[in-house]
Copies of this chain bind each other. A is one copy, B any other.
Amino acid sequence: MIDDKNIFKTPISEYGEFGIIKHLTKNFEIRSPFTVKGIGDDASVSDPKNKKVLLSSDILIENVHFNLAYTPLKHLGYKVVIAGISDIIAMNASPQQILISIGVSNRFPVEALDEIYKGIHIACKHYNIDLIGGDTVSSNSGLVLNVTAVGFADENEIVYRKGAQPNDLLIVSGDLGGAYFGLQVLERENVAYKSNPNLQPDLSEYSYILERQLKPEARTDIKNLLKDMDIHPTSMIDISDGLASEILHLSDQSNVGFSLYEEKIPIDNQVITTAEEFGINPITGILNGGEDYELLFTLPITETDKIKHNPNFSIIGHATQEIKNVLITKGNTQIIPLTAQGWEAYLNKKHTIK
Contacts and interface: CB of A to CB of B under 8 A. Distances in A.
Nearest to A19: B343
Interface in A53-76: 53-61, 63-65
Query: Interface size bucket, A side?
Result: 35 or more
A146 interface: yes
A156 interface: no
B12 A161 contact: no
A231 B41 CA distance: 21
Interface stretch (A198-206, A222-230, A245-253, A313-321): A245-253
A42 B87 contact: yes
B135 A57 contact: yes
Given A21-B353, A248-B18, A149 B57 contact: no
A141 interface: yes
Contacts of A132: 55
Interface in A296-310: none
Main secondary structure of the interface of A (DSSP, over half): mixed
A238 interface: yes
A272 interface: no
Given A45-B91, A57-B99, A36 B12 contact: no
B342 A13 contact: yes
- Copies of this chain, whole number: 2
Nearest to A65: B137
A43 B137 contact: no
Contacts of A58: 101, 135
A45 B144 contact: no
Nearest to A110: B343
A40 B250 CA distance: 11
Given A52-B36, A55-B44, A134-B57, A101 B343 contact: no
A341 B19 CA distance: 12
Nearest to A349: B138
Contacts of A52: 36, 45-48
A160 interface: yes
Given A12-B343, A55-B133, A135-B353, A90 B20 contact: no
Given A42-B87, A61-B138, A135-B354, 19 more contacts: A13-B344, A14-B343, A17-B346, A18-B248, A18-B252, A20-B353, A41-B162, A42-B90, A43-B54, A43-B87, A43-B90, A46-B52, A48-B53, A53-B53, A55-B55, A56-B99, A57-B148, A138-B348, A148-B148
17 contacts: A13-B343, A13-B344, A14-B343, A18-B248, A19-B343, A21-B353, A41-B162, A42-B161, A57-B100, A57-B101, A58-B101, A61-B103, A65-B137, A103-B144, A136-B353, A137-B351, A141-B141
